[in-house]
Amino acid sequence: MKPAKRLFDLAAATLGIILLLPLFLLLALLIKLDDWGPVFFRQERVGYRGKPFRIWKFRSMVVNAPKLGGVLTVGRDPRITRVGYWLRKFKLDELPQLFNVFLGEMSFVGPRPEVAKYVALYTPDQRRVLELVPGITDLASIKYRNESEVLAKSPDPERTYIEEVMPEKIRINLEYACQASIGSDLMVILQTLVRLWR
């Protein structure tokens, strides 16, 4: 990661954690009151140069969700809790990833980190995306902001994800990486916030 990008990530993540601490505490309380389960959900993802790390999220599904269904979330997945629905709707479940950014495991802007199951299916050309530091948001996330609804329309959601959605996300990220800068990253963050506001 370029020094300027890392410096921006570290400063912004630190500020974000401090300013959002009251919101973190409120969301933690709501999650806890909903079903008394854990506040956070941690899942292993594949990061920079294939190194695994554990991503932080506010838990938005029932405690035993992994045993009740697959990795993908499709449509109004019944595993999503009442509080989890609103966390996902406004992407609040992703806020704890500020800690991943602070630790250097992620950046604000970069390809969304994938689970090992799908990374194993990458072609040699697609594996180039692993040379990029994963991020909280990217242009692919903006394009596929309603991914679960898109997959819900498919007779075979996982196949659609593997053969259509995943390759397009990788293409977008590799193309973006060729001209990425602090300025373009800020524009992606702004576009993400505008999409959420709308």
What's residue 47's pLDDT?
Answer: 98
- SS3 for 98? helix
pTM of the predicted structure, to 2 decimals: 0.92
Distance separating alpha carbons of residues 194 and 175, to the nearest angstrom: 22
Full DSSP string of 27-76: HHHHHHHHHS--SEEEEEEE-GGG-EEEEEEE--B-TTHHHHS-SS--SS
By DSSP bridging, strand 107-109 and strand 52-58 are unpaired
What are the pLDDT tens digits along the chain (198 aa)?
Answer: 788 999 999 999 999 999 999 999 999 999 999 999 999 999 999 999 999 999 999 999 999 888 888 888 888 899 999 999 999 999 999 999 999 999 999 999 999 999 999 999 999 999 999 999 999 999 999 999 889 888 999 999 999 999 999 999 999 999 999 999 999 999 999 999 998 887
